[in-house]
Amino acid sequence: MSVFEAPDFHEHEEVSFFSDAASGLRSIIAVHSTALGPACGGTRVYPYASGDDALTDVLRLSRGMSYKNAIANLPLGGGKAVIIGDPAKDKTEARLLAHAQAVNALGGRYITAMDVGIAHADMLVMARGTNHIAGYDQPGKTGGASGPLTALGVFVGLKASVKHRLGADTTKDVTIAIQGLGKVGMGLAERLHEEGARLIVADVNADATRQAADRFGAKVVSPDEVVFADCDVFSPNALGAILNDESVPKLKAKVIAGGANNQLARDAHGAMLKDRNILYAPDYAINGGGIICVAGQIFSWTDAEIEQRVRAIADTMTAIYRRADADGRPTNLVADTIAEERMKAARAGVKAAAA
């Protein structure tokens, strides 16, 4: 399959394939857009069944990063990298260093970060081979570990959603069902508990749910039950495609606001939620705290500026909701439109400056 004929090719600026016989590296780096700045997005290590599957994933992910960075008002474009292999068996030091050289080959047009299959120790290895890398703990630098600030962004975005849909300035006495109690979900639960929310929680990790029950007085249900819990807000912080043909008609929540990626199985499910008068917080807008941390490290922003930008996610959500109301369109499509307008304006500015 030619890249240009790939179903998920979307005017990508550059798609590069790398093979290193000595290490066994096979990787793809996709740069979707550099309209707003150098393309930034993580490297994923995954045992793809075929090269076509890897290409599909990297094209989708890189485009998603363009929209994520644009909606967060960051001076970054969108890119992504995938390494074909099992992270438990194939992630050797030699392959990571070969991938660092692949990143270098793009001359700074792409900056890599962490994604599925990449750990902090792997970032340290790749950093020996490239300076075009960010999003991990580095002594003397801001940014780094993004879990706490991602949770903060989801929290302020959720509060903006509650304000818009329920008319409440606080989550006190609001019933919120949280699916997933990882770093983001648990951090979100802690902030909501401090504000007086009533929590329902679910996770495959029994220790995590027990901790939430003990610390926050949360009601524990199964990961399947939590989706259809009797609540004001459903907050997905684990699985993707959780909002689909089967789940949307049975939702009881009035608001969907969580940190999980790719919550909508398809774009059309945003319209289904709108038809049911359920307010949906576009996932890539509300969970932008992580990429804001990465940007902070790239551009040496202070911790205060990084936090200020994360808290501005609340304003972003409010702007999306108001425009969605005015236009009568689903919130996910409105978020896409705002991101596209920002990229288009930036491209127009570059062309005007070059003329």
Prediction pTM value:
0.92
Q: Which residues are catalytic?
A: 80
CATH of 3-66+77-127, one of 3.40.50.10860, 3.20.20.70, 3.40.50.300, 1.10.530.10: 3.40.50.10860
Sequence ranges of the domains in the chain:
3-66+77-127, 147-290+298-306+311-339
Same fold, 3-66+77-127 and 147-290+298-306+311-339: yes
Helix residue ranges, H only, 51-146: 51-71, 93-105, 120-127
List pLDDT tens digits, range 296-309: 999 999 999 999 99
Give the CA dihedral 139, 140, 144, 149, nearest 10 degrees.
130
Match 């929680």 to its residue by tokens.
201
Q: What is the C-alpha separation between 18 and 51, in angstroms, rounded?
A: 12
List pLDDT tens digits, range 54-78: 999 999 999 999 999 999 999 999 9
Q: In DSSP terms, which residues pair with 60 in a beta bridge?
A: none
Query: Are the C-beta atoms of residues 13 and 35 closer than 8 Å to each other?
Result: no
Question: Side by side, which strands form the sheet with 25-33?
Answer: 14-20, 25-33, 77-84, 39-46, 110-114
Q: What is the C-alpha separation between 237 and 31, in angstroms, rounded?
A: 27
Q: What is the C-alpha separation between 319 and 309, in angstroms, rounded?
A: 15
Query: Are the C-beta atoms of residues 29 and 9 closer than 8 Å to each other?
Result: no
List pLDDT tens digits, range 203-213: 999 999 999 99
Q: At what angle do helices 289-299 and 147-166 cross, to 10 degrees?
A: 130
138 burial via Cβ count (<10 Å: 0-12, 13-18, 19+): middle
Match 């926050």 to its residue by tokens.
216
CATH no. for 147-290+298-306+311-339 = 3.40.50.720
Three-state SS string across 42-62, please? Answer: EEEEECCCCHHHHHHHHHHHH
List pLDDT tens digits, range 222-281: 999 999 999 999 999 998 899 999 999 999 999 999 999 999 999 999 999 999 999 999
List pLDDT tens digits, range 298-339: 999 999 999 999 999 999 999 999 999 999 999 999 999 999
Match 């009601």 to its residue by tokens.
219
Q: What is the C-alpha separation between 231 and 306, in angstroms, rounded?
A: 32
In 3D space, the residue among 182, 355, 188, 148 whose CA is nearest the CA of residue 281 turns out to be 188
